[in-house]
Structure 1
Amino acid sequence: MLLADRTVLEPCVTQPSLLETSWLTEAIRLREEHAGPLEDLEANRLARHGGGSLATRIEHRATRLAQRDGVDTALRHWQQGARLALIALAVMALLSGSGLAFTALGDGLPPVNVFWALGSLLGLNVLLLLSWVLGLLLSGEHGASLGRLWLWLSDKLARDAKAAHLGPALVLLLQRHRLNRWLLGTLIHGLWLLAMLSALVIALLLLATRRYGFVWETTLLSADTFVALTQALGTLPGLLGFNVPDTDMIRASGDAAVNLEATRQAWAAWLVGVLVVYGVLPRLLLWGLCLWRWRRGCSQLRIDLDLPGYARLREVLMPSSERLGISDAAPAVWPEAQAPSGQVGNQGALVVAIELDDQHPWPPVLPATVQDAGILDSRESRQRLLDQLTRFPPARLLIACDPRRSPDRGSLALVAELARCATATRVWLLPAPMAQTLDPERLDDWHVALNALHLPHSPQPPLAWLEHGDD
């Protein structure tokens, strides 16, 4: 039912919501703050290429890093844990409400003291409701214990090591936008609403299936006090159509339980009406208010660009030259950099080599329509080519690798990053230079690694494929 906004609890099935994007961005910021900057060259490049404001680029970068490192999957696990925690708390609320009704009415053998029953049904609820209102008015914070319990259960049920920063990130994000009060208010009032509804249903079942007598007792107070109090509490329920005992019924019930059907029904209706008006309706209205404020606040979430973790990204994601409207011209390997319509399509073919030594002559003999992007042997050359491939992705890309080298993580990551910039990619495992042979085990390692990347590979250059798009 109604315990929290589904934007918090639903998994990121396709595109993350605004809350999920801000949440992931804050989690990445906390992770970098505690463990140092992440390897983010590709994420930064794609964020720059995506354009937009600095905040948009930071969120794009964080989303890419979260997808790469599995934080988005951890977020889904955390949300599943949050749903399970809410279900557990809802079951506790239902059981608690049922217990309140049984405690207030009993088994029907002794007469029911109406004010003791009313105190059992509404006493704790009213006290906590008043404390919530006072906390909201005075400090703006409330429900910290229940909130910590929910977060703790969510973390425990998530069972994902990568979710370590998600809980703190959510807390900081909500506190910064003053949304924690409305999320916890939705949670608190939703749980109490379930408890009150459960108590109401059980009370109606007991009153419908058992014969109860009602009395009130006092030693210090006069009968007029109870008459006035009963009628005052019954004013609002009476406006809603609930029966209220008249003065004679109230006075007669002070000595012993009146065995008249009309009197029993009047007291039962009064008790149910008071429970509805002072127990169920306030929680329902406050739950609706908190839910509305929560959803409204989630639609206006913005990251704080003044935070140190975001401020350092300004020059990286939005360089000064770009903000002034200056962009570098495409290099010579891109003779047709832009289509006439202004939108660059995936076209042409490109060959690039990774860390070749002097024993491999480069470039090889290529068809006239195939461009040579050179040898990537430095961080700057890699970044320059990746920037150009992001802006002008080719239709076909051939990556030449020297299988005498081990397929280390860095080389494979570069191959995968290059492959993501082209429509189709193949790998050319170069033959051994003259008077040398390839190590079969190392060559097999290359085959296994490239198969894991789902990249076709061969010892011969697929020139026909590069030139015409097929073999």
Structure 2
Amino acid sequence: MLDPRRQLAELVRLLEESGHLFAADPAPITESLRHSSLGTEERLLRRAELADRDGRLADALQRNRQGVFWLWVVAATALFSAAFSATFVLMDEKGLNFFLILAGVLGTNTVMLAVWLAATVFLRVKTLLPVSSPSTWLRGRDSINQAVLRLYADEWRKPAVRWRIGAASHSLWLCTLAGMLVCILLLLTVRQYTFNWESTLLDNGALVQTVAALAKLPAALGFPVPDDAAVLQGRLNGNAAHARAWSGLLIGSILCYGILPRLAAWAACTLLLRRAAETLPLDKPYYQNIIRQWQSAITDADKGGEPAPAPLPDITADNGAAKWAVTLETEWPDKGWYKNVLGQDWLDQGCADSRDAAAALRERLAAQPVRLLIGIRAHTVPDRGILRQTAALAAAAQGGAIVQLLQQDTADKQVSDGLEALLPQWHAALNSLNLPWLDPPHAAQKQRACASQER
């Protein structure tokens, strides 16, 4: 029962708890939101959006929502068509028994609506049976699909899901009734019918009272209805003069006793579903851990002699500096490598792949205050040339500079060969330049996972 943003946050929680590697490292994103003026839940929602830098998780949720929507469209179309066809067959004769037609159109709908109403009033269902959970009949092929199924399975077990099911059921019944009504209107427009009624047990007086009671609501809405004389003359006989009144009663009955009650039930389920809309479960240990990180003071942890990164600048404060992103040496295959780094909107400035390009960039940096994000390939050795270029660009950036070490996420293992040995070299080199740096997102997440397992 969560909206798309909360669904994304819950999906990030499930994936992070299972050790999934995100497109953006959640740790620096969490730190970047420490001093945000947003509320706690809003910060958690923003954190999830930033962790899903490539939009893969949001796309997975959107595809599922679209799949459910199109499934509903197919079901609604099938029910509309089936109801239309069944009504066409039911009205295939010129002389129609009014009560048989009315029972055929509204009988099943009325019974099922009464059953739903009784179940809603008398049955206090807290959860659904596990067999009805999507996780029992769907299986994902990767960690994201499996987490999505877990997310929907968790929602499926909540009490408010009864209103979701009710709203979907009523909407499909409305499509069925619409198919019947459209068919009846079409046939009454192009064909001349007569209506009669028959009964072995009921006499004329009882049928007159029954029709009068049935006609009260349609008559109040302006539909023509048969009078007592028309009812008496309609027993076993079809009279064309009264056909319009009987057809008005038929159409009015479908609206008053079929469509309007279903519409009211759908509206009630939709309203109750909105009232039952949930916020993020902030009491879960996952969210409590993040909230404690925001509430606690920053302390230097003992890294066992390993070099620690220089502290990140306070990028949450808007000092008027533009935010540029540039790669060194060659362009990076992932064109969106800079998106949402540390929760900021960086403007891509391409690649400083030559001395002339680097010099031109330094001139532009000197002309205005800019905070610079420098993307460097982590699987190369930090030689003097690239370090001098990095230091020169950082010195020209009046708003400060941050180095993002980049690792290509690919199935080719050779790309990351030796990365564990190279990262400490980069850390030491960048610390000597007093430049803050960020590890490659996947590498940083793997290091934290390994450290957590060792503890």
TM-score calculated relative to the size of structure 1: 0.61
Structure 1 residue 131, shift from structure 2 partner: 1.9
Counterpart residue number, 2:28 = 45
User: CA offsets per residue over residues 368-413 of structure 1, 9 Å max, x none?
Assistant: 86669xxxxxxxxxxxxxxxxxxx9745759799xxx964079499
Matched, 1:318 2:303: no
Matched, 1:93 2:74: no
Structure 2 distance, partners of 1:66, 1:368, is: 31
In the TM superposition, what are the counterparts of 1:15-414 in structure 2 within 5 Å?
19-32=3-16, 35-36=18-19, 42-50=25-33, 51=36, 52-67=38-53, 70-105=56-91, 107-109=92-94, 111-139=95-123, 162-173=144-155, 176=158, 179-254=160-235, 256-258=236-238, 260-295=239-274, 298=277, 301-315=278-292, 317-321=293-297, 346=323, 347=370, 394-395=400-401, 397=403, 407-408=415-416, 411=419
CA contact (8 A) 2:197 2:234 kept: yes
Structure 1 distance, partners of 2:15, 2:317, is: 44
CA contact (8 A) 1:25 1:58 kept: yes
User: CA offsets per residue over residues 18-50 of structure 1, 9 Å max, x none?
Assistant: 8111112222333455x4565798212212312
Structure 1 distance, partners of 2:85, 2:392, is: 81
List runs of 5+ in structure 1 lacking aligned partners.
1-7, 9-17, 373-391, 419-471
Structure 1 residue 239, shift from structure 2 partner: 0.7
Structure 2 distance, partners of 1:335, 1:189, is: 55
Structure 1 distance, partners of 2:312, 2:132, is: 60
Structure 1 residue 119, shift from structure 2 partner: 0.9
CA contact (8 A) 1:192 1:283 kept: yes
Structure 1 distance, partners of 2:387, 2:276, is: 60
The code of the aligned residue for 2:151 comes to A
Structure 1 distance, partners of 2:392, 2:113, is: 76
CA RMSD of aligned residues (A): 5.0
Shift of the 398–283 alpha-carbon distance from structure 1 to 2, 3 Å rule, reads closer
List runs of 5+ in structure 2 lacking aligned partners.
302-307, 324-369, 408-412, 428-455
Structure 1 residue 290, shift from structure 2 partner: 3.4
User: CA offsets per residue over residues 293-340 of structure 1, 9 Å max, x none?
Assistant: 445655xx411112344344444x425226xxx999xx9978997899
Shift of the 365–169 alpha-carbon distance from structure 1 to 2, 3 Å rule, reads closer
Structure 1 residue 232, shift from structure 2 partner: 0.6
Structure 1 distance, partners of 2:390, 2:300, is: 31
User: For 2:3, what is the secondary structure of its paired residue?
Assistant: helix
Structure 1 distance, partners of 2:19, 2:294, is: 21
The code of the aligned residue for 2:118 comes to L
User: CA offsets per residue over residues 114-147 of structure 1, 9 Å max, x none?
Assistant: 11111110011111112222222233669x89x9
CA contact (8 A) 2:9 2:44 kept: yes
Specify which structure has the bigger relative contact order, considering alpha-carbon pairs within 8 angstroms and separated by 6 or more residues: 2
CA contact (8 A) 1:100 1:120 kept: no
User: CA offsets per residue over residues 411-456 of structure 1, 9 Å max, x none?
Assistant: 49989xx9xxxxxxxxxxxxxxxxxxxxxxxxxxxxxxxxxxxxxx
Structure 1 residue 203, shift from structure 2 partner: 0.5
Structure 2 distance, partners of 1:75, 1:295, is: 20
Structure 1 distance, partners of 2:288, 2:5, is: 18
User: For 1:218, what is the secondary structure of its paired residue?
Assistant: coil
Structure 2 distance, partners of 1:305, 1:341, is: 29
User: For 1:242, what is the secondary structure of its paired residue?
Assistant: coil
User: CA offsets per residue over residues 44-91 of structure 1, 9 Å max, x none?
Assistant: 221231234443343334334444582222112212212220111111
Shift of the 318–112 alpha-carbon distance from structure 1 to 2, 3 Å rule, reads same
User: For 2:297, what is the secondary structure of its paired residue?
Assistant: helix
Counterpart residue number, 2:337 = none
Shift of the 155–200 alpha-carbon distance from structure 1 to 2, 3 Å rule, reads farther
Counterpart residue number, 1:459 = none
User: For 2:253, what is the secondary structure of its paired residue?
Assistant: helix
Q: Sequence identity, in percent?
A: 24
In the TM superposition, what are the counterparts of 1:439-454 in structure 2 within 5 Å?
none
CA contact (8 A) 1:333 1:371 kept: no
Structure 2 distance, partners of 1:241, 1:191, is: 27
CA contact (8 A) 1:78 1:163 kept: no
CA contact (8 A) 2:29 2:51 kept: no
User: For 1:220, what is the secondary structure of its paired residue?
Assistant: coil
Aligned length: 361
The code of the aligned residue for 1:280 comes to I
Structure 2 distance, partners of 1:43, 1:266, is: 69
Shift of the 133–309 alpha-carbon distance from structure 1 to 2, 3 Å rule, reads farther
User: CA offsets per residue over residues 197-229 of structure 1, 9 Å max, x none?
Assistant: 221110111122223232222222333222211
Structure 1 residue 237, shift from structure 2 partner: 0.5
Structure 2 distance, partners of 1:274, 1:292, is: 26
